[in-house]
Amino acid sequence: MTDVATVHSLWTMAAGAEDKIPAPHIEYGQLSPTLIVLAAAVLGVLVEAFLPRRSRYYAQLMLTVVGLAAAFAAVIGLAAGGYGTEKAHIAAMGAIAVDGPALFLQGTILLVSLVAVFTFAERRLDPAAHGNRVDSFAAQAASVPGSESERAAVKAGFTTTEVFPIVLFAVAGMLVFPAANDLLTLFIALEVFSLPLYVLCALARRQRLLSQEAAVKYFLLGAFSSAFLLFGIALLYGYAGTVTYAGIADVVDGTVKTVDPALAGTMGNDALLLIGGAMVLMGLLFKVGAVPFHMWTPDVYQGAPTPVTGFMAAATKVAGFGALLRLLYVVLPGLRWDWRPVMWGVAIVTMLIGAIVAVTQTDVKRLLAYSSIAHAGFILAGVIAVTPDGVSSVLFYLAAYSFVTLGAFAVVTLVRDAGGEATALAKWAGLGRRSPLVAAVFAVFLLAFAGIPLTSGFAGKFAVFKAAAEGGAGALVVVGVLSSAIAAFFYIRVIVLMFFSEPTPEGPTVAVPSALTSTAIAAGVVVTIALGVAPQYFLDLAGQAGTFIR
């Protein structure tokens, strides 16, 4: 017996008094916007599993709209409770920041997704198939396009109502992304919102080959870029010994109180910091579609179902720039002499390439994609300012831009011919004579993109360029104005094409949408005009929200 005991004790030992593992302290109230959206998404999955097919659409739509609206109400509640200003702090054991920029961007993302969900749910644009109203999504995503199983699915009236919970998961990731206060949360949030988007891209009802191709490209490039982001995180962790933003910022600034001897070796290693920071920046710049990481944008925007494109173009940009701002302003302000020249270059190339290549485009969705690249450049000009005005101008620009984008893509879903949406620009000739209202609404969005006064685009651009000029980036402003002029050329060209050229006989028709898409477009127009005519209230709001917590 004693022998056994000795042998046994070689690899075990008596259990001592267990150390208590303290439960993490989570401020559920302050995380409620994200939690509400996640709960709605989980419920949506259950609805998909247990409800009969015919009642799923209405149940999902209700659930999604209520979930997003409740989350928005929670954001408003938090902001009214002072969490955006004096009560701003870091929740969930340092993982999530609850502060002005986070709440402002979360509110924007929620409103944008709420409007985008209306375009997702639209069922009047496509002609009814076998007596069933259909939306823009495939009857059954798993069936091969043109196959027997697809025909059977269409005939049975299947619809992909899964898109609603998928969108909710994406929105939840986007809510966390600009609020993430450590690099691990940043990475997880990035994946949580990217993976649903990859799936959504592949679900188009019409032209599914294009849609699947867009999904593959987006997925492979997105996974590639997130691997870079992750390696950057690993290097920053190696540099600082922690992944919290404040911890890394302390090491960058050299204000750490007690230096661990194990850390001393890597802390002085600037190679880790510079390469790691650059790789994390690359991952974020990919998500916002800045040159030279923009190659996926036109293909994915063109191939994805148009409601998804609108959602992606608007909401991803808001979330991505939010995370970029927090990274640059909270983690790496001590490194700004290193990152500012790089970001200068990126901003200049982004503005110029976006505007110049857009001139040559012949497809409306690709045109809007390149215009979104140019706009990413304009927003970067505000990011570079490194002043409180820089932050608030970027916040304002994102809110203004996202509604214009959403509205513009919603209009694109209306112009259709026999093959679905008629996105070739040539087919849009004379649209203004055929349906003046739709063309006029699209013209408003194009003018807002171009930054014509009395639209939100002007107010946003003015704020961003003013902040950039005051932040000492005068040359950037000159390039920005120049590329705005180039961009204005092709926006105006589309307007001229719509109103002053003869309609072709076999041109597209404009579908009459249901109240859903009409609401989305109306919301886009109202926000565009409101932010353009009376921007001051919203600029003040963004100004109040412009301070990061650390």
Partner 1 sequence: MNPVNYLYLAALLFTIGAAGVLIRRNAIVVFMCVELMLNACNLAFVAFSRLHGNLDGQIIAFFTMVVAAAEVVVGLAIIVTIFRSRHSASVDDASLLKL
* Residues numbered 139-168 forming contacts with partner 1, rule: CB under 8 A: 141-142, 144-145
User: Which token pair is 124?
Assistant: 């009047």
Q: Does 217 bind partner 1 (CB under 8 A)?
A: yes
Stretch that binds partner 1, among 44-52, 257-265, 431-439, 441-449 (CB under 8 A): 257-265
Q: Which residues contact 206 (CB under 8 A, 6 or more apart)?
A: 126, 136, 419, 420, 421
Nearer to partner 1, 212 or 456 (CB): 212
Nearer to partner 1, 192 or 379 (CB): 192
Nearer to partner 1, 153 or 511 (CB): 153
Q: Which of 128, 152, 223, 481 binds partner 1 (CB under 8 A)?
A: 223
Nearer to partner 1, 9 or 360 (CB): 360
Nearer to partner 1, 139 or 447 (CB): 139
Q: Which residues contact 330 (CB under 8 A, 6 or more apart)?
A: 181, 245, 246, 249, 548, 550
* Residues numbered 315-334 forming contacts with partner 1, rule: CB under 8 A: none
Nearer to partner 1, 67 or 241 (CB): 241
Q: Does 215 bind partner 1 (CB under 8 A)?
A: yes
- Bond into 22 cis (ω within 30): no
Task: Find, among 41, 56, 221, 51, the residue nearest to 137 by Cα.
Answer: 56
Nearer to partner 1, 214 or 447 (CB): 214
Q: Which of 39, 42, 210, 522 binds partner 1 (CB under 8 A)?
A: 210
| Nearest-approach distance from CB 115 to partner 1, in angstroms | 26
User: Which token pair is 137?
Assistant: 């999504």
Q: Which residues contact 537 (CB under 8 A, 6 or more apart)?
A: none
Nearer to partner 1, 275 or 349 (CB): 275
| Nearest-approach distance from CB 199 to partner 1, in angstroms | 6
| Nearest-approach distance from CB 303 to partner 1, in angstroms | 5
* Residues numbered 170-199 forming contacts with partner 1, rule: CB under 8 A: 184, 187-188, 191, 195, 198-199
Q: Does 308 bind partner 1 (CB under 8 A)?
A: no
Task: Find, among 176, 293, 140, 276, the residue nearest to 225 by Cα.
Answer: 293
Q: Which of 16, 52, 265, 505 binds partner 1 (CB under 8 A)?
A: 265
Nearer to partner 1, 197 or 468 (CB): 197
Nearer to partner 1, 220 or 534 (CB): 220
Q: Which of 92, 114, 233, 376 binds partner 1 (CB under 8 A)?
A: 233
Stretch that binds partner 1, among 234-242, 416-424, 449-457, 520-528 (CB under 8 A): 234-242
Q: What is the distance between the alpha carbons of residues 470 and 464, in angstroms, rounded to a whole number?
A: 10
Q: Helices 100-120 & 515-533, crossing angle to 10 degrees?
A: 140
DSSP string, 433-498: HH-HHHHHHHHHHHHHHHT-TTSHHHHHHHHHHHHHHHTT-HHHHHHHHHHHHHHHHHHHHHHHHH
Q: What is the distance between the alpha carbons of residues 468 and 462, in angstroms, rounded to a whole number?
A: 10
* Residues numbered 357-386 forming contacts with partner 1, rule: CB under 8 A: 360-362, 366
Q: Does 503 bind partner 1 (CB under 8 A)?
A: no
Q: Which residues contact 305 (CB under 8 A, 6 or more apart)?
A: 136, 137, 200, 201, 203, 204, 205, 211
Q: What is the distance between the alpha carbons of residues 407 and 522, in angstroms, rounded to a whole number?
A: 8
| Nearest-approach distance from CB 133 to partner 1, in angstroms | 25
Q: Does 219 bind partner 1 (CB under 8 A)?
A: yes
| Nearest-approach distance from CB 299 to partner 1, in angstroms | 4
User: Which token pair is 218?
Assistant: 């987006």
Stretch that binds partner 1, among 202-210, 337-345, 456-464, 518-526 (CB under 8 A): 202-210
| Nearest-approach distance from CB 269 to partner 1, in angstroms | 11
Q: What is the distance between the alpha carbons of residues 108 and 395, in angstroms, rounded to a whole number?
A: 9
DSSP string, 380-449: HHHHHT-SHHHHHHHHHHHHHHHHHHHHHHHHHTTEEETTEE--BGGGGTTHHHH-HHHHHHHHHHHHHH
Stretch that binds partner 1, among 23-31, 297-305, 330-338, 447-455 (CB under 8 A): 297-305
Contact between residue 449 and residue 404 where contact means Cβ atoms under 8 Å apart: yes
Q: Which of 39, 45, 65, 234 binds partner 1 (CB under 8 A)?
A: 234
User: Which token pair is 513?
Assistant: 């949408």
Element (H, E) at 45: helix 32-50
Distances (CA, A) of 178 to 95, 98, 380, 395, 410: 12, 10, 16, 11, 26
Q: What is the distance between the alpha carbons of residues 127 and 337, in angstroms, rounded to a whole number?
A: 57
Q: Which residues of this chain interact with partner 1, rule CB under 8 A?
A: 141-142, 144-145, 184, 187-188, 191, 195, 198-199, 202, 208-210, 212-217, 219-220, 223-224, 227-228, 230-231, 233-235, 237-238, 241-243, 260, 262-263, 265-266, 298-299, 302-303, 360-362, 366
